[in-house]
Structure 1
Amino acid sequence: MTTTAPAGARTWGRDLLNKVPEVTLFFWVIKIMCTTVGETAADYLNENLGFGLTNTTYVTGALLVVLLLVQFRVRRYVPVAYWAVVVVISVFGTLITDNLSDGYNVPLTTTTPIAAAVLAAVFAIWWAFERTLSIHTIVTVRREAFYWLAILFTFALGTAAGDLLAEKADLGYGVSIAIFGAAIAVVAFAHYVLKLNAVLSFWLAYILTRPLGASVGDFMSQKSDKYGGLGLGTTGTSYIFLACILILVAFLSITKHDQTDPARLTADPEQAPA
C-alpha cells in the first residue's frame, strides 16, 4: 500500500512510499559509521591514493550524482541504495569543508558559521514549501530533494565543527568525542524526558553525530602527540567501518527491521516519530 501524501504535497509527478529508514538503534549506528568513513575516506583518496583534493572532489561528486539518480528512481526505501548515498554524501560533505579550508584557506571559524547558515536556509526553504521537516513524510521527489540537500550540509557543518573543536581549539580527538557524545545525550534526554519535539530532536542529533563520527575517525586513523589517536591509518579505519556498514545493511535488507510502518504515520506529520 502506498503512503498518501497530504494535500498539496504531491509534487513533481509522483507519490512514493517513504524513502528513508525507520529511526532505530541500527540507524544511528550505521549513520555514525558513515560519518567516520566520510572523514577517513576523503583523506584516503586525497592523500594515500594521491588523487589530490580537487580530483577527489570530482570523483566523489560524480559517484554521488550516480547514486542519487538510483535513489531517486526507486519508489521506496531500499537499504543498499539509501546507505550507499549516505556513505558517499558524507565524503562529499567533508570535501566541501576541506576545499574551503585547505583549498581556499578559509578558516574553520568562518566555514563553520557559513555551513550552519546554509543548512538553516535549506531547512527554512523546505519548511516554507512543505510545512514539515519530518523524515517520515519523504513521499515526494521534492521532499526527497530537500532531505538530501539538508543531509549534505549537516555533513559539511559537522566536519567544520569537529575540526574546529578538536584541532583549532586544541582539545584533541578524545575530548571532542566526549563533548559531542555528551551533547547527543543531552538531546536524547530532552526528547525522551522533557518531550522535545521529535523532528527537532532528530535533526539536532543528526547534526551532532557528524562531528562525533569525524572525531572517532580521526581518533582511530591518526596518531598525534598533540591531538591523540590510535594511528590505525585512513586505509584500515575506512575498511573496518565499511565492512561493518555492509554487514548491517545486509542484515537490515533481510530482516526489514528499519522499514517504516505506514500505519504509524498520522495526518499531522509533525506528530510522526522522528
Structure 2
Amino acid sequence: MGTAQLQQEQPPLGIRHMASKVPEVTFYFWVIKVLTTGMGETASDFLAHLLGPIPAVALGGLAFAASLALQLSVRRYVPWIYWTAIVMVSVFGTMAADVLHVGLGVPYTLSTPLFLTALAAVFATWYASERTLSIHSVHTRRRELFYWAAVLATFALGTAAGDLTATTAGLGYLGSGVVFAAVIAVPVVAHRWLGLNAIAAFWSAYVVTRPLGASFADWMAVSSARGGLGLGLGPVTLGWTIAILGLVGYLAVSGKDVATIGVR
C-alpha cells in the first residue's frame, strides 16, 4: 500500500517546517505497522504465559508509559523512538482488550463496539478541538496527545475485532487474516476511485492493520490443533521483531519516511 493510495491531505502552499512528530505515509509505514501489530499480539500472549496476566499487564503498562513519554519529549520524528512507542501501544492495546475478555468476561461482541465507540469519541473530541484529523498536522503537544489516544484506541479495537472474527465467528486465524487482507483494500479502492476522503481512508486502513497482522501472527504461532503452524509465541515474536528492527534501521539511515508538514 503506497503513499499515493492512502496519502494524507497535503497542506496548502504556505509555511512548511520539519517539526513532524510522525513518519510520512509510505509503503514502509504500512509494512512496519502490520509487523508491529503481529509482534504486539504474540508478545502480549508470550508475556502473559511467562509472567502471569497481572505482572504482564503491569510491565506492559510501564513500558508503554515510558516509551510514550520519550516520544513526547523529542521535538521531531525519530524512527526508533516513534516505532518503539507503536510497538508498546500494540502490546499494551492487546493486553487492554484481553483483560476485558479474559479477566472480566466481556464478550468480543460487546468489547468490539465498545472500543469502536471509544475511538469515535477520540476522533470527535480531536476534530472539535483542532478541526482536522490529519496526521500531517501533528506538530503541537495537544494534537500529538490526540494522535496517540487514537492510535491506542485503534489497537484495542483491532484486537477485539480480530478475535471476534477468529474465535467467536469461527473463521480461525488464517481465515480471519484473509478476510482482513480483503477488508483493508476497501478504503484504498474507495479513496482512489470512489472519492473517499484521504483522512478517512487512512484511519480506516490503520484500524484494519491491527487484526490483519495479529491474525497472521497468531496463525503462525498457535498449534496445528488450533489451525496454526505451531511455531510458538516466542519464535514468532522474535522473528517479527527482527524484521521490524531491520526496516526501522533502514529508515533511520535513509530518511525515506521523513515528512515535511504544514501548519494548520
Deviations 1:160-179 (A, max 9, x none): 00001001111111111111
> Retained in 2: the 8 A contact 1:94–1:155?
yes
Distance in 2 between residues matched to 1:73 and 1:101, nearest whole Å: 34
Deviations 1:91-121 (A, max 9, x none): 1000111100000111111111111111110
Distance in 2 between residues matched to 1:191 and 1:260, nearest whole Å: 21
What are the ranges of 5 or more consecutive residues in structure 2 without an aligned counterpart?
1-10
Amino acid at match of 2:201: S
Change in CA separation of 1:16 and 1:60 when aligned onto 2, cut-off 3 Å: farther
Which residues in structure 2 correspond to 1:79-228 (within 5 Å)? 79-225=79-225, 227-228=226-227
SS in 2 for 1:133: coil
Distance in 1 between residues matched to 2:141 and 2:216, nearest whole Å: 34
After TM superposition, the structure 1 stretch with the greater mean CA deviation from structure 2, 206-215 or 192-201, is 192-201
After TM superposition, the structure 1 stretch with the greater mean CA deviation from structure 2, 133-142 or 178-187, is 178-187
Partner of 1:39: 41
SS in 1 for 2:202: helix
Amino acid at match of 1:250: G
Deviations 1:220-242 (A, max 9, x none): 101243x5111111100000000
Partner of 1:236: 235
Distance in 2 between residues matched to 1:118 and 1:192, nearest whole Å: 28
RCO higher in structure (CA 8 A, sep ≥6): 2
SS in 2 for 1:229: coil
Quote the offset at 1:251 in angstroms.
Answer: 0.3
Amino acid at match of 1:98: D
What are the ranges of 5 or more consecutive residues in structure 1 without an aligned counterpart?
7-14, 270-274
Partner of 1:21: 23
Deviations 1:129-161 (A, max 9, x none): 000000001000000001001100100000000
After the TM superposition, list the runs of 4 or more consecutive aligned residues in structure 1 that deviate by more than 3 angstroms.
Answer: none
Instruction: Report the RMSD for the aligned CA atoms in angstroms.
Output: 1.6
Distance in 2 between residues matched to 1:205 and 1:213, nearest whole Å: 12
After TM superposition, the structure 1 stretch with the greater mean CA deviation from structure 2, 185-194 or 31-40, is 185-194
Quote the offset at 1:35 in angstroms.
Answer: 0.2
Distance in 2 between residues matched to 1:224 and 1:245, nearest whole Å: 26
Distance in 2 between residues matched to 1:117 and 1:261, nearest whole Å: 32
Deviations 1:200-256 (A, max 9, x none): 00000000110101101111101243x511111110000000000001001000000
Amino acid at match of 1:151: V
> Retained in 1: the 8 A contact 2:18–2:260?
no
TM-score (norm 2): 0.91
Amino acid at match of 1:58: A
